Amino acid sequence: MNFENMNIWCILIGIICAFLGYLIGRLFDKSSAKVIDSSAEINSLKTSNTKLKADLVDLNNLKATNTKLKADLDACNQKVISSSKTVPTPVTSSNVGTSATATSFAATSSVLAFDASAAKAAFKKTIKQDDLKLIEGIGPKIEGMFKDYDIKTWKALSEASLQDCQKILDTGGTRYKIHDPASWPMQAKMCYEGKWTELVKWQDEHKHGKL
């Protein structure tokens, strides 16, 4: 091999080396860029993960608060139920005058107890307890309508509003529009409280139970 051929080979080798160096450089730049891009994505994921963890902590705190509120509500409901089931101490010869509660209970019992004899004396006929027909303006048909709506006692009728009474009458159609229920709760309250003399007097003074 002569000197000229050696120069050609050297040139070719140099060109090849330069080209390989260029390719290697390009690959290194792309790899570096990918590494940088991957690092940015990893950092973003880490940030999202941190935020999700914080949200999870907040959610757990809310669940704990909700559980506590439910427990407090259940305890409050139990107290209400227990209070509603409390029965006043009956008045007897052994505890009369021992407390204001006993006196109050005795007064309430004497007012709310149905006295058939007193009712009969006032109306001159036998009165059945919770007979809604005793109310001036209420006949058998209307009594049945009210009982269909679970108003079956004097007490229940005394606590009904005028609007409630009118709605029940409206279910019977136009034939019941002539009835005026304005006084019915008041009359029922007199019955429930045993104010027979007052009720008889009131009914005598008011035609058909109208105010």
The answer to whether residues 143 and 73 belong to one domain is no
Tens digit of each residue's pLDDT (9 = 90 or more) over 179-202? 999 999 999 999 999 999 999 999
The pLDDT, as a whole number, for residue 36 is: 53
Identify residue 81 by its one-letter amino acid code.
I
The answer to whether residues 82 and 122 belong to one domain is no
The answer to whether residues 120 and 199 belong to one domain is yes
The answer to whether residues 135 and 51 belong to one domain is no
Domain assignment of residue 18, yes or no: yes
Tell me the C-alpha distance between 30 and 18, whole Å: 18
Tens digit of each residue's pLDDT (9 = 90 or more) over 35-90? 555 678 888 888 888 888 888 888 788 778 778 777 776 676 666 555 544 434 44
Domain assignment of residue 136, yes or no: yes
What does pLDDT average to over the chain? 78
Tell me the C-alpha distance between 59 and 198, whole Å: 65
Domain assignment of residue 161, yes or no: yes
The answer to whether residues 125 and 195 belong to one domain is yes
Domain assignment of residue 102, yes or no: no
> Regarding predicted confidence, which is higher, 153 or 5?
153
Q: How many CB atoms lie within 10 A of CB 198?
A: 13
The pLDDT, as a whole number, for residue 145 is: 95
Structural domain containing residue 42? 1-86
Domain assignment of residue 92, yes or no: no
Domain assignment of residue 98, yes or no: no
**pTM (2 d.p.):** 0.47
Tens digit of each residue's pLDDT (9 = 90 or more) over 95-130? 444 444 434 433 444 447 899 999 999 999 999 999
Q: How far is CA 36 from CA 22, 29, 33, 44, 67, in A?
A: 21, 11, 5, 13, 47
Number of structural domains found in the chain = 2
The answer to whether residues 198 and 134 belong to one domain is yes
Domain assignment of residue 19, yes or no: yes
The answer to whether residues 82 and 125 belong to one domain is no
